[in-house]
Structures are given as C-alpha cells and as structure tokens.
Structure 1
Amino acid sequence: MIPAMPAASAASSRTAPVDALRVLLMGAVAVLILVAGVWGSWGTAQDVMLTKGKERGTVTVSVCGADTCTGPFAPASAGASRRASVVLDKSVGVRKGQTYDVIVKPGTGDVVRSGPAGVLYAWVPLGGALLLASVVVAGGLRLRRVAWVLGVCGFALLTAAFAALQ
C-alpha cells in the first residue's frame, strides 16, 4: 500500500461489487414496481383514453351495492345502443341518483367513467406504484432527488384523481 493512500480506499474496493449488486437489484425492483403500476392501470386506461369506435353515453346510478353500482345506459355516440342496466365500479365519486359520462367496455355490460375524472381514476394504480417506487429509489438506490420526483408525481396523481372524482 502506498503510504499516502488512505486505508479506507482498500475497504471500499472490496465493497464495490456489493454496492453494484445492490444498485442492480434495487433498480430492478423499482422498474418492476413501475411496470406493474402501468400494467394495472392500462386495463381501464385504454378504454377511457382510446375511445374511437366504443360506445359512449351516460348512466344514471339507481342501485349501489358493496362494490358496484348499476343503472340504465343512455347512448350518446353513433352506434351505441340503449341498455336497461350497466355495471359501474363503485368508487369515492359514485353516488346514487347521479348521472355520469361513461364508456362501455367492449363485449361486456360494464362501463368506466370517461373524461378527465375517468382518465385520472384509471391511472390511480400507477400513482401508488410511483409512491412505492420512490421509497425503493430513496432507500435502495440512495437517489434522493429522483425519489422526491417520483413521490411528488405519485402524490399529485392520486390527489388529482381524488379531486376529480368529487
């Protein structure tokens, strides 16, 4: 060892592979969380965002159960047909007696909310994934600024969805 070289550098060269493995694993976990958030959101988001050729209309909620609400569907787009009852997921923004703009999921009697509220609600799983990934990035990757950006984006998405559904 060179006398001018600090003793700590010898120890840090031994931990370099461990640090590289930690960064690789935590990076993979963060990416997996974000991919899962997009995957969980895309099932509903594609119906709300890609509306060409889909039945659009309104539903007036008449009955609400534990998880779903139902009501008659009034068409608003060409090719849409009137339905006596469609199923809408119950969320914080669905109330009995209210009318909502919806899109019918192709091949089903289920509908999803359309417009800004529907788009934001569809991306709620991604908002949760952003919050969770921010913790992994901060603790596992030690990238505090990136973690703050992820966390703030996730919080903003969840807050905007909640506000839009009210």
Structure 2
Amino acid sequence: MPVRRDRLRRAGESAFGALLLTRMILMTLLALLMVTGGAWSSWDTARDALRPPQGAAGPLTLAACDRERCTGTFGPSGETVALYQRIGREPGETLEVALRPGTAEVVRTGAPGVLYACLPLAGSLLLAGIVIGGGLRMYRTAWATAGAGIALLATAFALW
C-alpha cells in the first residue's frame, strides 16, 4: 500500500517545481534578450557595411588619427570624413569604406567591416553563454554560444 503524503508536503513540492520552471523561463528570456540586443546594436552599422547606399562607397585615405577616430579624404566626393574606431591606424593608409547617409561618418566595407560591426553581437554571445551555463545549466550549449562569440571576436580583430 503506497504511503500518502500530506497536503503541506505536496504543496511545497508543487511550489518548488513552479520556482524551477519560473527560473528556466526567466533565464531563457534573459539570454534571448541579450542576443537580440547585441544583434540589434550590430545591425545599425552592419547594414551600411553590407549594402552601402548608391554612390556612397569608395576609398578613404587617412590623413590624421587619434585614439577615437581617423579623418581623411573620401575618394568619390573628396570631402573630409571620420572613421570611428578603437584600433590604431596609420596616416596614409587607404581603406574601402561606405559613407553613412546624412553624416560625415564612414564605416569599413567587406568582411572586415561587417565583422567589426558585429562586435556587440559577439559580446552578447559571450554574456549569453554565461547565463545559459549558470542559469539554465545547459553547459554544452553555453560553451557553443561562448565559442561562437570568441570566434567572432578573434576573426574580427584578425581581419581588421
């Protein structure tokens, strides 16, 4: 004959199960929010690097560089534009860039430009890997997510 548990114990077990389910749902939503935010942040720059507006792509010859940006002459129009970046460049270099509509800013085009634009996505993948591993206890998925973020970071800096 099975032993019957009292109501208080059954209610406690049900509440604990509900807490576990709530934790899983919240951690999943947090990880999805992180990756979505990183992709959204990356898309603003990646859009111009992937498909430059008609007549807004060309070479940029760097004239001066500081810690925040490099300025130079944009080939097709001859105007002075700024390339905002954190990695050091040397004056005299020529880069393929695209002019952002309505601004005097340019972004790199091609694979280096797209990968550099995707750095916020890479950071969000790294953070989501921590949430997936620590909060959801899905260790293989966490390693795969963090590995994708690390690979994206390494490739972006290798091609930049």
What TM-score, normalized to structure 2?
A: 0.89
1:2 maps onto 2:2 in alignment: yes
Q: How many residues align?
A: 156
Q: CA deviation at 1:17?
A: 0.3
- Give the match for residue 151 of structure 2: 156
C-alpha distance 142-12 of structure 1, shift in aligned 2 (>3 A): farther
Given that 1:57 and 1:103 are in contact with CA atoms closer than 8 Å, whether structure 2 keeps it comes out as yes
In the alignment, the residues of structure 2 paired with residue 15 and residue 108 of structure 1 have an alpha-carbon distance, to the nearest angstrom, of 55
Query: In structure 1, what is the equivalent of residue 97 of structure 2?
Result: 102
For 2:75, what is the secondary structure of its paired residue? Answer: strand
Offset at residue 40 of structure 1 (A)? 1.1
Aligned pairs (5 A) from 1:60-139 = 60-75=61-76, 81-83=77-79, 85-92=80-87, 94-139=89-134
- Please report how far the alpha carbon of residue 65 of structure 1 lies from its aligned counterpart in structure 2 after TM superposition: 2.3
1:23-42 equivalence runs, <5 A? 23-42=24-43
- How far 1:95 moved relative to its partner? 2.5
Match of 1:78 in 2: none
CA distance in 2, matches of 1:127, 1:93: 21
Distance 1:149 1:54, change over 3 A: farther
Q: Following the alignment from structure 2 to structure 1, what is the Cα–Cα distance between the partners of residues 128 and 140?
A: 13
* Cα distance, 1:64 vs structure 2: 1.2
Gapped regions of structure 1 (runs ≥ 5):
76-80
State the superposition RMSD in angstroms.
2.1
What is the TM-score of this pair, normalised by structure 1?
Answer: 0.86
Q: Secondary structure at the match of 1:63?
A: strand
Structure 1 residue 2, shift from structure 2 partner: 2.5
One-letter code aligned to 1:39: W
Counterpart contact for 2:31–2:131, Cα < 8 Å: yes
Which blocks of at least 5 consecutive residues in structure 2 are unaligned?
none
> 1:74 deviation in Å?
0.7
Distance 1:74 1:14 in 2: 66
Query: Are 1:22 and 2:23 matched, yes or no?
Result: yes
SS at match of 2:102: coil
What one-letter code is carried by the residue in structure 2 that aligns with 1:36?
G
Distance 2:53 2:152 in 1: 25
Q: Distance in 1 between matches of 2:13 and 2:142?
A: 25
CA contact (8 A) 1:70 1:87 kept: yes
